[in-house]
Amino acid sequence: FWDFLILFFCLPVVIFNEITKKRLLGDVSCRIVPFMEVSSLGVTTFSLCALGIDRFHAATSPQASTRPIEQCQSIIAKLAVIWVGSMTLSVPEILLWQLAQDTSPVNGVVTEYCTMKPSSNLPESVYSLVLTYQNARMWWYFGCYFCLPILFTVSCQLVTRRIRGTEKGECRGTKHGQCESHLNCTIIALTVIYGLCTTPENVCNIVVAYMSPDMSKQTLDLLNLINQFFLFFKCSVTPVLLLCLCRALGQAFMDCCCCCCEGCGPDTASSEGSADSKLKTEMSSSIFFDKPRETPPPLLSLGTPC
């Protein structure tokens, strides 16, 4: 959902600014767009960490094959912590950016752009904190939003594989073992996409921090544009990758889309297909929690309406 917000709100603002050289919504967009983009990195970072912890608990549980379904309230609480924490860590971005204007010496056209400069109207204590954040922003970006999710995911995967190594002979070929392996591959794929899309921005930040006096404003703007579109690419690919790799989530998404279509009639064939897909969805494992592997329900007696 946060990836959708980035594509729905931030992408049009950036494209409009590049075409018209005017900032859509003015100073508000200069503050909200960086806030939402950094919050997106935080949401992805802490979500990957939470999924890594979930996989670790699944591997170390004494009865992993019969672990109960996680309650909805628990999942909502975790999502609230991830979202609120990410937005809280991104609040300095609102105070850091502001709208600036530049007049071209050639044709006299006024160009609007966003600059990283704290406002002098801020209280002295807040101004010093925002200035400290600006000075440490590059390494905070690199450490929290790049190294943390990658190292966390790699560590959880290594520990999980080490624990699963003793049970490899028992779980190999079983449905539970295949589901666990599939979920681990899904998390690894999400981490790889995230790492590939955030690497250019971190490299550019480090290069600009030490070579900005020798670089022109056009070069800096181009690097910033490339970094933003890598973020948009990540927000576009991640949901599609998740829906394709996580079969239960993808099937549930397709069922919801099918139910919203007017052409889905309640005929017998579609009812049977829907029942089969629902059964497969219930039997498959979800990425957010492990469904209990119990004995199959007893078959209904012949001749009933079902």
Q: What are phi and psi of 138, to 5 degrees?
A: -60, -50
- pLDDT 10s digits, 165-220: 665 555 555 666 667 777 778 888 888 889 898 888 888 888 877 776 667 777 77
pLDDT greater than 90 at residue 84: yes
The predicted model scores a pTM of 0.74
pLDDT interval class at 35 (50, 70, 90): very high
Rg (CA), the chain: 24
Q: What is the mean pLDDT of the chain?
A: 76
Q: What is the tens place of the pLDDT at every residue in 284-293?
A: 444 444 444 4
Amino acid at 208: V
Q: Which 3 state secondary structure label does DSSP give 286?
A: coil
Give the model's pLDDT for residue 64. Answer: 52
Name the burial class of residue 184, with classes exposed (0-12), middle (13-18) and buried (19+) by CB atoms within 10 angstroms of its CB: buried
- Is it the case that residue 142 has pLDDT exceeding 70? yes
- pLDDT, one tens digit per residue, over 97-125 is 888 877 766 667 778 888 888 887 888 88
Contacts of 140 by beta carbon, 8 Å cutoff, 6+ apart? 133
pLDDT band of residue 86 (cuts 50, 70, 90) is very high
The pLDDT assigned to 209 comes to 76
- In the chain, the amino acid numbered 71 is Q
Does 228 or 109 have the greater pLDDT score? Answer: 228
User: At residue 283, what is the residue type?
Assistant: M
Cα first-last separation, the chain: 37
Position 15 pLDDT exceeds 60 = yes
Tens of pLDDT, residues 248-273: 777 777 777 777 665 554 444 444 44
Structural domains of the chain in order of their starting residue, each with its CATH number: 1-61+70-167+175-260 (1.20.1070.10)
Beta bridge partners of 103: 110
Cβ-proximal residues to 284 (8 Å cutoff; 6+ apart), any chain: 179, 247, 248, 251
What pLDDT, on a 0 to 100 scale, did the predictor assign at position 166? 60
pLDDT at 68: 64
pLDDT of residue 259: 73
Helix (H, G, I), strand (E, B) or coil at 218: helix
Q: What confidence score (pLDDT) does residue 270 get?
A: 45
Q: What is the pLDDT of residue 264?
A: 52
CB 295 within 8 A of CB 77: no
Task: State percent of the chain over pLDDT 90.
Answer: 7
**DSSP, res 299:** P
DSSP reduced 3-state for 115: strand
Residue matched to tokens 């600036």:
100
Residues 193/238, Cβ–Cβ less than 8 Å: yes
Helix axes 217-245, 27-60, angle to 10 degrees: 40
Would you state the pLDDT for residue 87?
A: 92
Q: What pLDDT is recorded for position 263?
A: 52
